[in-house]
Amino acid sequence: MTLDLSHEIELTPAFHDLDPMVVVWHGHYFKYFELARCALLQRFDYDFPQMHASGYHWPIVDLRAKYLRSAHYQQKLKVRARITEWEHRLRIDYQIRDAETALLLTRAHTIQVAVSVATGEMCYASPAVLLARLGLPTS
């Protein structure tokens, strides 16, 4: 059995995401990644409110994005988010593709670490609650 730790959403860029070149401004993609990430984490009942209730924040500490092609107004896009690391930190990889041609537009990843709400201290290993929610063995 393979664990499916990915999720895909569809979206189309809004007018207010466009810059003077009439393409999506590079900083707005982090909203698209976040929409896919939150939808993915909701599937495991571990989105922002549940994280907080479990005693942890998960701030983003590192991110990278590569823009291969611009996204345009009303272009149908698929944004896929996939969890690729979880033991010490939560790494999520993203791909944005044209929904019709499957052409790759953007590749990115974000890295989050657990921080205790109570102490404000960073955790050097992911807390058991993450692995439990993802359905992974907490060795």
Rounded to a whole number, what is the distance in angstroms from the first to the last CA of the chain? 19
Both tokens of 107, joined, read: 């590749």
Q: Binding a second copy by CB under 8 A: which of 66, 84, 128, 138?
A: 66
Classify 109 as helix, strand or coil.
strand
* Min separation Cβ 15 and a second copy, Å: 6
Distance (Å, whole) CA 94 – CA 66: 10
Number of chain positions touching a second copy (CB under 8 A):
36
For the chain, helix, strand, coil in percent to 5 are 25, 35, 40
Question: Which residue among 4, 10, 53, 62 contacts a second copy (CB under 8 A)?
Answer: 62
- Residue closer to a second copy by CB (options 1, 21) is 21
- Among residue numbers 5 through 24, which ones bind a second copy (CB under 8 A)? 14-16, 18-23
Query: Distance between CA atoms of 104 and 95, rounded to whole angstroms?
Result: 7
CB of 39 to a second copy, least distance (A): 10
For residues 13 and 23, what is the distance between their CA atoms, to the nearest angstrom?
A: 9
Q: Is 61 one of the binding residues for a second copy (CB under 8 A)?
A: yes
Binding site for a second copy (CB under 8 A): 14-16, 18-23, 25-28, 30-31, 34-35, 38, 42, 47-49, 57, 59-68, 70, 73-74
